[in-house]
C-alpha cells in the first residue's frame, strides 16, 4: 500500500426522482488498499460503486482515477472491473468463455488467452471446469468464475458489490479469507460493498461507514469500532449502550447520575455529549463495589457469554459477560476509564435508545401497538359515552 | 420421457382428439387430394403441373423474405429499447404494439388500400402540394409493406420477451469487461436473443408466404402469390386437387425453412415459440 490516491471522488451528489442518493460525498482510495463501503440498504454504497465503475454519472462532483478526470468516460473504457451481486455471468457461455470474455474483447492472441484463463481458473480452484456451462455450477463456483473473469484482466481496481451475500454462512467465511488472500497476493485495490459489519471489520484495511448518502466515518476497523464518531456509527457497528452525558471537564464524563473517569478530552466544560460503552467492556460486580447499580431484567445464554440486560434508572444496559446473574438480582456495574467513549452530539443523538428492544422494527411495532391500544381504549370510552 | 399418469391421459385426451380431427386428418385429406383427379382416381398430374407456378412460388418467397427482413430490422432495436424501459413504459409500448392486432387483418388491409389508392389520402395530399399522384397500390412495395404492417407484432413480441429476460447486470458486466455498444450487441445481446429472433422470423415468414388477402388488396390484382392461386383454384375453378397440391408444396417449403432456421440457430431447446 502506498500513499498515492488511485481513486478520488470529489463532492459527488446523485439525485434520483427528486431524492438525494449521494449527498456531497468525498472519498479517497489509496493504491493497494482494501476499502469497504459499509451501510444498510439505501445508504448509497452501491451507487458510489456504480459511479466508480462508470455505470452512473453523478449529477454533481468529479471522479478522478489518479490525476485523470473520469467524468463522462464510459464503463468499458475504465480500468476497473466489477464483481456483481448476483455474479451476472454470461448464461450462453461456458466457464472458459466467461473468463476469456474481456481478453477476447481486447483481441489478444488465442494462445495468450488460453494461458491466462487457465492460470486464472487455477487461482480460483476451478481447474477442470473450463467446459462446464455456468448454469451447472453451484453458487460458490459461479462466484469464483465472476472473480476470475474480472481478475484475468489485471485491473488496477476491483469493485465488489456485495459479492458474498448469496452464499451460505460457512462458504461465506471461506470466501472472505480467499478474497483477502487474493487481494494481498495481487496487490489490486479492492473496493468492497457490504451491509455486513462483521465482514467489513474482518476483511478491510479501511472501512467507510455510510448512511443517508453521506460518509459517517472513515477509518481502520479498529478505529471504527473503538472510536465511533457519532451515535449512528456506534449503533451500526457492534452492540453499544449509548447514553446522554455531559463532559464536566477533560477526562471527566458524567452520565447515569454519576461522574466517571475517562480518557477523552478536548470538549468544552459542560458540553452535552453522547457516551458509548460496549457491552463486553462492562463487568458485573457486587452491588456495593459497582459504580452503577441496577436490576437484571433478562438473561440470555449465547454460548460464549451471557447477554444480560440491566435496568439502571429506567435505561436498559446490555452487558456481555461470562459471569452469571439471575433475573431480579441487584448487581453492580464496573466500567474502566478506557471503555468509556465520548462522542460529539450529532443529528443521530437520541435516535438510538436502550436495549428495551433490539431492533428498530420491534420498537416501531411496540409503539404502534401502544398507539393502537390507546385508540381502542378511546373508542371504547367514546362508545360508552354514547350509550349514556 | 416421463411416464404419464392416468389422470394426465384423461385430461390430455380431448386435445389429442382435437388435434387428430382438425390437424392430422385434414393433412391427410390435403395429401389425398394432391394425388388424385376430380374423380378420385390417383394421378401425378397435379404435381407435374406445379412447374408452371414456379415463378409465383419464387415471388411469394422473395416477398415474404423481404417482409421478414424488414420486420426484423425494425423490430429488433424496438424490442431492445422496449425491454430496457421502465415497467410502466414497457406496458404502454406493449399495448401500442398489440393494438392493431385487436382489429381484423381484413379491415386493416382494406384501410391501407384506401390510404394508398390513386385517389387515396396520400395521393390527395400529394396533388395538393403539386407532387402529382404516385402509383403506390399494386406495387411489390405495397404488398411487402402490408405484410410488414400486419405481421411485425409477431416479430416484436417474441424478441421482446427474450430480451426482457436478459438481466441488466449481464449487460453491465459486458461493458465492465470492455465491450462497447457493438461488441456488447454481438457477443451478448444477439446470442441471448437468438431464440426470440428465430421465433419471430418463423411467425412473420409463415403467414406472409401463405397470405392471399394482402396481395389481392394491396397488389391490386397485379401481384399474385401462392395464396392467391390456391384461393383461385379452389374458389374460382373449383379445382380442389390442384389447390391441395399447391398447399402441400407450400407446407413443405414452410417446414423446410423452419428446419433450416433451427439448424442455423443451433440449440433448439431454447426456442420457446416454435
Chains A, B: CB contacts under 8 A, how many?
A: 64
- Which residue in the set B167, B172, B177 is minimally distant from A101, CB to CB? B177
Dihedral sign, Cα of residue A318, residue A323, residue A325, residue A330: negative
Residue A83: enclosing H or E segment and its boundaries? strand A80-83
Shortest Cα distance, chain B CAs vs residue A56, angstroms: 11
Residue A348's pLDDT is 86
A302-310: average pLDDT:
91
A53/B178 Cβ within 8 A: no
Residue A382's pLDDT is 65
Give the strand pairing for A258-261 and A330-335: unpaired
Q: Ranked by mean pLDDT, which of A144-148, A351-355, B115-119, B127-131 comes out on top? A: A144-148
- Which residue in the set B176, B188, B191 is minimally distant from A53, CB to CB? B176
- Which residue in the set A55, A91, A149 is minimally distant from B177, CB to CB? A149
pLDDT by residue (tens digit) across A34-83? Answer: 999 999 888 999 999 999 999 999 999 999 998 899 999 999 999 899 99
Residue B270 has pLDDT above 50, yes or no: no
A162-171: average pLDDT:
86
Residue A246 has pLDDT above 80, yes or no: yes
Residue A379: enclosing H or E segment and its boundaries? helix A360-387
Residue A153 has pLDDT above 80, yes or no: yes
Residue B273 has pLDDT above 60, yes or no: no
Residue B126's pLDDT is 86
Q: Which residues of A touch B186 (CB under 8 A)?
A: none
- Which residue in the set A55, A80, A101 is minimally distant from B172, CB to CB? A55
pLDDT by residue (tens digit) across B141-157? Answer: 999 999 999 999 999 99
Residue B118's pLDDT is 82
B180 contacts chain A (CB < 8 A): yes
The domains found in chain A, sorted by start residue, are 5-226 (3.40.50.300), 231-366 (2.40.50.140)
Residue A386 has pLDDT above 70, yes or no: no
pTM: 0.80
Shortest Cα distance, chain A CAs vs residue B84, angstroms: 14
CATH topology of domain B53-265: MetI-like fold (1.10.3720)
pLDDT by residue (tens digit) across B21-36? Answer: 999 999 999 999 999 8
Residue A388's pLDDT is 40
Question: Average pLDDT over chain A, rounded to whole?
Answer: 89
How far the first Cα of chain A sits from its last, in Å, is 81
pLDDT by residue (tens digit) across A320-355? Answer: 998 888 888 899 999 999 899 999 888 888 787 678
Residue A385 has pLDDT above 90, yes or no: no
A175-189: average pLDDT:
90
Question: Average pLDDT over chain B, rounded to whole?
Answer: 88
Q: What is the per-residue DSSP string for chain B?
A: -PPPPHHHHHHHHHHHHHHIIIIIHHHHHHHHHHTB-TTS-B-SHHHHHGGGGHHHHHHHHHHHHHHHHHHHHHHHHHHHHHHHS-HHHHHHHHHHHHGGGGS-HHHHHHHHHHHHSTTSHHHHHHHHTT------TTSHHHHHHHHHHHHHHHHHHHHHHHHTTS-HHHHHHHHHTT--HHHHIIIIIHHHHHHHHHHHHHHHHHHHHH--HHHHHHTTTS---HHHHHHIIIIIS--HHHHHHHHHHHHHHHHHHHHHHHHHH---TT-S--
Q: How far apart are CA A286 and CA A250, in angstroms?
A: 29
Residue B189 has pLDDT above 90, yes or no: yes
B176/A75 Cβ within 8 A: yes
pLDDT by residue (tens digit) across B202-247? Answer: 999 999 998 988 998 898 888 889 999 898 888 888 888 889 999 9
- From A148, which residue of chain B is nearest by alpha-carbon distance? B177
B178/A88 Cβ within 8 A: no
Residue A204 has pLDDT above 90, yes or no: yes
Amino acid at each position: 500500500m502506498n500513499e498515492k490516491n488511485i481513486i478520488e471522488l470529489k463532492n459527488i451528489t446523485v439525485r434520483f426522482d427528486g431524492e438525494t442518493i449521494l449527498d456531497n460525498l468525498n472519498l479517497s482510495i489509496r493504491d493497494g488498499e482494501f476499502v469497504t463501503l459499509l451501510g444498510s440498504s439505501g445508504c448509497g454504497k452501491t451507487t458510489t460503486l456504480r459511479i466508480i465503475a462508470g455505470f452512473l454519472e453523478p449529477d454533481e462532483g468529479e471522479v478522478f482515477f489518479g490525476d485523470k478526470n473520469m467524468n463522462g468516460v464510459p464503463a468499458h473504457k475504465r480500468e476497473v472491473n466489477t464483481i456483481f451481486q448476483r455474479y451476472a455471468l454470461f448464461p450462453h457461455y461456458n466457464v472458459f468463455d466467461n473468463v476469456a470474455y474481456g481478453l477476447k474483447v481486447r483481441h489478444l492472441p488465442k494462445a495468450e488467452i488460453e494461458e491466462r484463463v487457465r492460470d486464472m481458473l487455477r487461482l480460483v480452484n476451478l481447474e477442470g471446469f473450463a467446459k462446464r456451462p455456468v448454469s451447472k455450477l453451484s453458487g460458490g463456483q459461479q462466484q469464483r468464475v465472476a472473480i476470475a473473469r474480472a481478475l484475468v484482466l489485471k485491473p488496477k481496481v476491483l469493485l465488489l458489490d456485495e459479492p458474498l451475500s448469496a452464499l451460505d454462512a460457512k462458504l461465506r467465511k471461506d470466501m472472505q479469507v480467499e478474497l483477502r488472500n487474493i487481494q494481498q497476493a495481487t496487490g489490486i485495490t479492492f473496493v468492497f460493498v457490504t451491509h455486513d459489519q462483521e465482514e467489513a471489520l474482518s476483511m478491510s484495511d479501511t472501512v467507510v461507514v455510510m448512511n443517508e448518502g453521506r460518509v459517517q466515518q472513515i477509518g481502520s476497523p479498529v478505529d471504527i469500532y473503538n472510536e465511533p464518531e457519532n451515535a449512528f456509527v456506534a449503533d451500526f457497528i457492534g452492540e453499544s449502550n449509548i447514553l446522554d452525558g455531559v463532559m464536566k471537564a477533560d477526562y471527566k464524563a458524567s452520565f447515569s447520575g454519576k461522574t466517571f473517569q475517562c480518557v477523552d478530552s478536548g470538549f468544552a466544560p459542560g458540553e452535552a455529549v453522547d457516551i458509548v460503552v460496549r457491552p463486553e467492556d462492562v463487568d458485573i460486580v457486587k452491588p456495593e463495589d459497582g459504580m452503577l447499580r441496577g436490576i437484571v431484567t433478562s438473561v440470555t445464554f449465547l454460548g460464549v457469554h451471557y447477554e444480560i440486560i440491566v435496568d439502571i434508572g429506567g435505561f436498559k444496559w446490555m452487558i456481555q459477560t461470562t459471569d452469571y446473574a439471575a433475573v431480579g438480582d441487584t448487581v453492580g456495574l464496573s466500567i474502566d476509564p478506557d471503555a468509556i467513549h465520548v462522542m460529539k452530539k450529532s443529528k443521530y443523538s437520541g435516535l438510538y435508545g436502550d436495549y428495551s428492544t433490539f431492533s428498530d422494527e420491534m420498537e416501531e411495532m411496540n409503539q404502534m401497538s401502544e398507539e393502537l391500544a390507546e385508540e381502542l381504549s378511546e373508542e371504547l370510552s367514546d362508545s360508552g359515552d354514547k350509550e349514556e | 420421457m416421463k411416464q404419464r399418469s392416468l389422470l394426465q391421459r384423461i385430461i390430455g385426451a380431448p386435445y389429442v382428439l382435437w388435434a387428430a380431427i382438425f390437424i392430422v386428418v385434414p393433412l391427410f385429406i390435403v395429401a389425398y387430394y394432391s394425388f388424385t383427379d376430380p374423380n378420385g382416381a390417383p394421378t401425378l398430374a397435379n404435381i407435374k403441373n406445379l412447374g408452371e407456378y414456379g415463378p409465383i412460388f419464387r415471388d411469394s418467397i422473395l416477398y415474404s423474405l423481404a417482409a421478414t427482413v424488414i420486420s426484423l430490422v425494425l423490430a429488433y432495436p424496438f424490442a431492445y429499447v422496449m425491454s430496457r424501459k421502465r415497467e410502466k413504459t414497457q406496458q404502454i409500448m406493449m399495448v401500442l404494439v398489440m393494438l392493431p392486432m385487436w382489429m381484423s387483418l381484413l379491415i386493416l388491409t382494406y384501410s391501407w388500400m384506401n390510404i394508398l389508392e390513386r385517389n387515396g389520402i396520400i395521393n390527395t395530399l400529394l396533388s395538393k402540394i403539386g407532387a402529382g399522384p404516385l402509383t403506390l397500390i399494386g406495387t411489390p412495395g405495397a404488398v411487402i409493406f402490408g405484410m410488414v404492417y400486419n405481421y411485425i407484432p409477431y416479430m416484436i413480441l417474441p424478441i421482446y420477451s427474450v430480451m426482457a429476460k436478459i438481466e441488466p447486470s449481464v449487460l453491465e458486466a459486458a461493458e465492465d469487461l470492455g465491450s462497447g455498444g457493438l461488441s456488447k450487441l454481438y457477443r451478448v445481446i444477439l446470442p441471448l436473443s437468438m431464440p426470440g429472433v428465430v421465433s419471430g422470423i418463423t411467425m412473420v415468414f409463415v403467414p406472409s408466404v401463405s397470405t392471399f388477402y394482402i396481395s389481392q388488396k394491396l397488389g391490386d390484382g397485379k401481384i399474385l402469390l401462392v395464396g392467391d392461386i390456391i384461393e383461385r383454384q379452389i374458389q374460382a375453378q373449383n379445382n380442389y386437387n390442384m389447390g391441395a397440391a399447391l398447399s402441400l408444396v407450400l407446407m413443405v417449403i414452410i417446414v423446410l425453412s423452419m428446419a433450416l432456421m433451427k439448424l442455423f440457430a443451433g440449440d433448439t431447446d431454447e426456442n420457446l415459440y416454435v
